[in-house]
Amino acid sequence: MLSFLSNTLKTFRHGIHPGDYKDLTRNLSIERLPFSEELTIPLSQHLGAPSKCIVKVGDEVKRGQIIAKPSGFVSIGQHAPMSGTVKSIEMRHHPNGKMVESVIIKKDLFSPQTFYNEHAMDWENLSADELISLIQHGGFVGLGGAAFPTHVKLKTPEGKNARFLIVNGVECEPYLTSDHRVMLEQSEDIFLGIRILLKILGAEKFYIGIENNKQDAIDFLGENIPEDMNGEVVALQTKYPQGAEKMLIEAVLKREVPSGKLPIDVEVVVQNSGTIAGIGMMFRFGQPLIERVVTITGPGIENPANLLVPIGTPLTDVLEHCGGLKENTRQVLFGGPMMGAPQSDLDVPILKGTSGILCLTDEEVTIKEEFPCIRCLRCVDACPVYLNPSRLGALAKTREYEGMLDFHIMDCVECGSCSYVCPSNIPLVQRFRVSKALLREQQAKQKKAG
């Protein structure tokens, strides 16, 4: 029996089962958002070095034209999502709360939605290194939210072997449905993207991991895998945080990525389904990453939607297109409720890593009183990487950060499962994020000092 028809659902150990709340948008097809008057393109919207700007104020740019080059290996290209004029290059608010150098493009009133230099690329006659370079200069990052440059994960280190490619179609964050819609509406791009990545990696087989709260995507992709491709769809039990790489690998292949190691150390590369669809589109049409699908959802938005949004569009324009916020909206997040980042400025731009915009009302955003830890160990049972959040939380509270290293704090994936199950309302994951940031800063200073 084909795996996607199997009654046995695979998953990983531990984790939690929050409600998925995806009904608001799961059946809404992707709509294209019109261009805004201005777009803000931050030169740093990925992990790694910022891109290097190659345009100047007053330049006219075309939709899809490169405006910033990679400044190193862990860096990517940036492109104009619409035709227009470079209005300014200045520091602007970034969704991470910092000020970041950004290119501001003012719309050409006659800018078409079509791509100006549409052409297919002869990927079959390109080498793996040439394909990797095109993906880097095409500006691709993980669209699941981490925004790690895609090409870096495709460059297999010497002595390593990538036998398997796993397509991450899990989308385990509650409310979000952008990957779900991409899998239903862009299967041709996904399968082309998989072919290209298999060639780059030299991998022998691919798997598409999808949770069973997206049964239509499981059925559709499973029934449409091209006959000449060696791959399968794996139906997974719905559980959080199954979209994390290490959890997904355990669920699909029953392989454990050791502490401090990467997926390639167990012969696996994982890529998000939306990222792979984008790569497929680039090689079909020559279009770099200039737009992405975003889920706008939650009780606080008038008209939830799945929109194809030009990168750099102001958050306010997206919200207005969806009918605006309701009066009792308390909080707007980039991402889902578990790992999303609250926004204090509604003028920030949509980034490549913006998978969703979640609007919550007074009812969902309640401040709970914190109580002492009762050592119930629910957090230990929930932690997907087998840490002891209770002990780590106690060390964080007393600022014993170096002691947290002995309890493997750097293995924490910051999924928030511990905070979710804590009956004492202790903000464990928030404390771990702060602790890890301080430890990284301390380690960087020590390294610099020699």
379-434 per-position pLDDT tens digit: 999 999 999 999 999 999 999 999 999 999 999 999 999 999 999 999 999 999 99
Q: Which residues pair with 329 in a beta bridge?
A: 361
pLDDT for 3: 46
Task: Give the mean pLDDT of 122-140.
Answer: 97
Distance between CA atoms of residues 196 and 210, nearest Å: 21
pLDDT given at position 1: 43
CA–CA separation, 247 and 273 (whole Å): 16
Q: Mean pLDDT score of the chain, rounded to an integer?
A: 94
Integer angstrom CA distances of residue 343 from 7, 133, 331, 340, 384: 41, 34, 8, 9, 28
Q: Give CA–CA dist 20/22, Å, rounded.
A: 5
Short-list 381, 388, 372, CA closest to 425? 372
Which segment of 53-67, 122-136, 432-446 scores lowest on mean pLDDT?
432-446
Element (H, E) at 41: strand 38-42
Q: What is the pLDDT of residue 26?
A: 97
Q: What share of the chain is helix, strand, coil (3-state, %, to 5)?
A: 30, 20, 50
Over residues 171-197, the mean pLDDT reads 98
Residue type, 221: L
Which of 278, 258, 280 minimizes the C-alpha distance to 268?
A: 258
Looking at residue 242, its pLDDT comes to: 97
Angle between the N-to-C axes of helices 428-449 and 389-397, in degrees from 0 to 180, rounded to the nearest 10: 70
pLDDT band at 368 (very low <50, low <70, confident <90, very high): confident
Q: How confident is the model at residue 157 (pLDDT cuts 50, 70, 90)?
A: very high
Percent with pLDDT over 90 in the chain: 90
Q: In 3-state terms, what secondary structure has residue 33?
A: coil
CB atoms within 10 A of CB 170: 29
Residues 350 and 390: their CA atoms lie apart, in Å, by 36
Residue found by looking up tokens 């970034």 in the block: 94
C-alpha 62/C-alpha 83 separation (Å) is 4
Specify the pLDDT at position 7.
57
Does residue 418 contact residue 388 with C-beta atoms inside 8 Å? no
pLDDT at 47: 86
Tokens of 199: 């060639």
- Tell me the three-class secondary structure of 218-278, residue by residue: HHHHHHCCCCCCCEEEEEECCCECCCCHHHHHHHHHCCCCCCCCCHHHHCEEEEEHHHHHH
Query: In Å, how far are 85, 296, 358 from 364, measured between CA atoms?
Result: 42, 16, 11
